[in-house]
Amino acid sequence: MPLETPNQKTATFANDLPAQSRGPNDYATYAVEVENDRGRSAGLSNQVQVPSAAVSTLNGAPTAQLTPDAVVVTANITPQNDSVQQVLELRRTESSKEKGTPQESTVAKRLLELPAPGEAANIELRDETFDWEKTYEYRVVLVGSAKVPNRTEVVVFDAASSVPLEVITHDVFPPAVPTGVQAVFSGPFAGQQPSIDLTWNPDSDRDLAGYFVYRRRQDEPASAAIKLNAQPAAAPSYRDAAIQSGNRYFFSVSAVDERGNESRRSEETSEQVPK
């Protein structure tokens, strides 16, 4: 006969320690005792020692700024107690489509370097592993670590945590403007059609989709430049064979990312087609 699984409940406990028990080397020792409805108990659990020294304070809610290459979360910290090593962690939660439950992971860590005690400071943490067009929740967690008295192990504990901060990573950032655009005329050698070959420096944006090439004639204003390629060119080069002898052509190049954000056009370069 299968046994019924008893109901399991999670209990929490908060304990305010007196100021005189919060020295750099002070610890509080805790154990748990569970009684049934008849007041009977199996005794105390194993004991755990927790550092009781006051650690630094997280002031208010953190702020977030979205940049082209990172989610930058800024927390305001009032430092205390340099006897306990303290690390700031940036933890991110996202929904898992496979499991359907939020999964929290640590995406950045920073050792807290304490200035003068009591002087608040803004500290930045950067998440450079995010994906565009997602919604994340971030928490800044202050993690302390201290050696247990008369023992070799080190206790690591979450000392403080900020409220969750929601960030929508909507991409509105175009790639960098291409540079180093050059144009060279190629004559009708070996039966090839005359053309102008363009090259430029490659763009290093991680979400780059390609490049658009624009052209105008010398007798046309810059606003008259037309886009030569309907689809982005994958490589930093382009051959324009739709040219006429005797004309000077001006070219510029833009970069576009995977979501269609297009950069400004590069500085123009020109090339003369001989008569």
| Domain chopping of the chain, boundaries | 54-168, 182-272
Q: pTM surpassing 0.95? A: no
Topology annotation, domain 54-168: Immunoglobulin-like (2.60.40)
Which of the listed CATH numbers 3.30.420.10, 2.60.40.10, 3.30.70.141, 3.40.50.920 matches domain 182-272?
A: 2.60.40.10
DSSP 8: -
One digit per residue, the tens of pLDDT, for the chain of length 275 reads 444 445 556 666 666 666 555 555 666 777 888 888 887 888 888 777 666 666 788 999 999 999 998 999 999 998 876 667 889 999 999 865 555 677 899 999 999 876 566 688 899 999 999 999 999 999 999 988 877 666 666 777 788 899 999 999 999 999 999 999 999 998 877 567 899 999 999 998 888 999 999 999 999 999 999 999 999 999 999 999 999 999 999 999 999 999 999 999 999 999 999 98
pLDDT score for 94 = 86
Q: Residue 134 gets which letter from DSSP?
A: -
Q: Identify the bridge partners of residue 48 per DSSP, sorted by sequence position.
A: 30
| HSE of 87, CA atoms in CB hemisphere, 13 A | 13
Q: What is the CA radius of gyration of the chain?
A: 31
- String of DSSP letters for 110-121: EE----STT--E
Closest among 27, 141, 25 to 73, alpha carbons compared: 141
Look at residue 52 in the predicted model and tell me its pLDDT: 65
Task: State how far the Cα of 33 lies from the Cα of 7, in Å rounded to an integer.
Answer: 18
Indicate the SS3 state at residue 244. Answer: coil
Q: Can you give the pLDDT at residue 2? A: 44
pLDDT of amino acid 119: 82
In this chain, the answer to whether the domains covering 54-168 and 182-272 adopt an identical fold is yes
